[in-house]
Amino acid sequence: MDIILKYFSDFSEEQLRQMQALKALYQEWNAKINVISRKDMDNFYEHHVLHSLAIAAAVEFQPDTKVIDIGCGGGFPSVPLAVYFPEAEFLAVDSINKKLTVLKEVAAAAGLKNITTQHTRAEEIKNRKFDFAVSRAVAPLKDLWRWSKPLLKKGMNGEVANGLLCLKGGDLAQEISESNVRPHVMNIHAIFPEDFFAEKYLLHVKA
């Protein structure tokens, strides 16, 4: 938890309580339904929570911002973002229901009221629009954009355009080339200068 407080200090008492509760809750549920590798649990706050909060370091979601987490897995980046932005609304979707079980139980136990789940694929969602789609290492950029583009409404969130925000790692040149979009690429290591974030990036594609 110290590594979170190294970079973020403006938590309310409730947010602090929720952040601190996450590791024990995920450890408990991970023992039943494995969604996080054992090795990663040792570095839970850096590898999962802080990594998710790279989005919060780049974009300030305004109250009532609607966000969809595509392929949310056990709840990253949506759960840490829901703690950080209590006035934004998050929908976490995944095609694997047992992962959503973990997310729902963790969110309920932490007292998160602004995150809901849906057992579906993003491309099957109809008649709903979001300000942002977020994702972490789920699929190639071309697929993420194909899934998220129909779900996004144009507009601005403060000074940032609505769109897709995805966390990626490694050499992205070919993936970006094949996507036929021109994302704004942010180096996470420049935001959080920790070894783990070397060659990790946040991509933003405008709606």
The CA distance from 165 to 204, in Å, is 5
CA distances from 30 to 25, 46, 149, 204 (A): 8, 17, 32, 31
Binding site feature residues: 71, 76, 122-123, 136
- What does the H/E/C string look like for 8-61? CCCCCHHHHHHHHHHHHHHHHHHCCCCCCCHHHHCCHHHHHHHHHCHHHHHCCC
Distance CA 51, CA 53 (A): 5
Q: How far apart are CA 182 and CA 142, in angstroms?
A: 11
- Known binding residues for S-adenosyl-L-methionine: 71, 76, 122-123, 136
